[in-house]
Amino acid sequence: MSDSTKTWQRALTKDGSRTLLDPEGLACHSWEGAWQQAVERYAGGVEFSERGDAVVRLLDVGVGLGLNMAAALAAVEGGERCLEVTGLELHLEPLQLAIAEPEPMAGPWHQAVGEALAAALDLARQDPERADQEGVPLGQRSRLWLRLGDARKTIRALAPERRFDAVFMDPFAPADQSDLWQGDFLQAIAERMDPGSRLVTYCAASAMRADLLRAGLLVGRLGRVGRKAEGTVAAPHPADLPPLPPRALRRLRQRAAESVSEGTPDDSQ
């Protein structure tokens, strides 16, 4: 039976920024640095300067505290372009904590994310149809469409023409939460990725990488961030992805030819 007295809690990480622990104690970010992970793994990993054109369309899976979104906003608006974020989140509590207290290390970018999340929740309460269609302003010239609910369902409810230049894949680790790492959800994401797009995740599990291959994406390896030796980048078209070692790629292709997904010990943040 779950303990209804448990709540989401803030916790300090080593770079001085704060993460959240869910009611079961799962951390939303690396203990080495929540903001470091958002900036280096996520915003850095998709290389925003190479994505989209005047507008960059981002799918943010597991909005949580919104640090990844803030890092994306810094990268895109800092370069004088606009970001259009579709954010998928199951729980209200991490959003409310982001709204209540912006992360100082993330500066005005996280403040802007908090304001947009508050506006999106208000609009969804008052006029859900308008919230779906128009979204809300984010930062100086960007927009946010927030979809509350299970991402496996909310992604299917997006308008068919909604496609993405970048995807942040940031649910809890497969060992703790296998549902969002399953092949059919990854397939639903892959179907919405434009030719020049990139998906980035902290996860380096071979089962997940094999599922990305099965979904028709090419898979590459991102280098160390903090204590996490590698992350994963994926793209729909041949691109200069940082390559996996040839032996690892051969094994992955073999695995992709099999059907069952399971986690590996290297799934944590």
The answer to whether the beta carbons of residues 151 and 158 sit under 8 Å apart is: no
DSSP annotation string for 97-142:
HHHHS--GGGHHHHHHHHHHHHHHHHHHHH-HHHHHHH-EEETTTE
Please report whether residue 121 would count as binding ligand SAM according to CB under 6 A.
no
The answer to whether the beta carbons of residues 76 and 42 sit under 8 Å apart is: no
Q: How many residues does the chain have?
A: 269
Q: Which among 63-71, 116-124, 133-141, 210-218 is the span making contact with ligand SAM, rule CB under 6 A?
A: 63-71
Alpha-carbon distance of 156 to 150, in angstroms, equals 10
Q: Which of 73, 75, 83, 88 binds ligand SAM (CB under 6 A)?
A: 88
- Total number of residues that touch ligand SAM (CB under 6 A): 22
Q: Which among 56-64, 110-118, 216-224, 251-259 is the span making contact with ligand SAM, rule CB under 6 A?
A: 56-64
Q: Which of 44, 45, 52, 66 binds ligand SAM (CB under 6 A)?
A: 66
Q: How far is CA 154 from CA 87, 89, 90, in A?
A: 10, 9, 10
Decide whether 146 or 252 has the Cβ nearer to ligand SAM: 146
φ, ψ of residue 196 in degrees (nearest 5): -90, 15
Please report whether residue 52 would count as binding ligand SAM according to CB under 6 A.
no
Please report whether residue 109 would count as binding ligand SAM according to CB under 6 A.
no
Q: How much is the CA Rg of the chain, to the nearest whole Å?
A: 17
Token pair in block for residue 204: 């380096």
Q: How far is the CB of 246 from ligand SAM (least distance, A)?
A: 31
Q: Which of 43, 65, 106, 120 binds ligand SAM (CB under 6 A)?
A: 65
Please report whether residue 172 would count as binding ligand SAM according to CB under 6 A.
yes
The answer to whether the beta carbons of residues 41 and 224 sit under 8 Å apart is: no
Please report whether residue 94 would count as binding ligand SAM according to CB under 6 A.
yes
Return residues touching ligand SAM (CB under 6 A).
Answer: 28, 38, 62-68, 88-91, 94, 150-151, 170-172, 177, 179-180
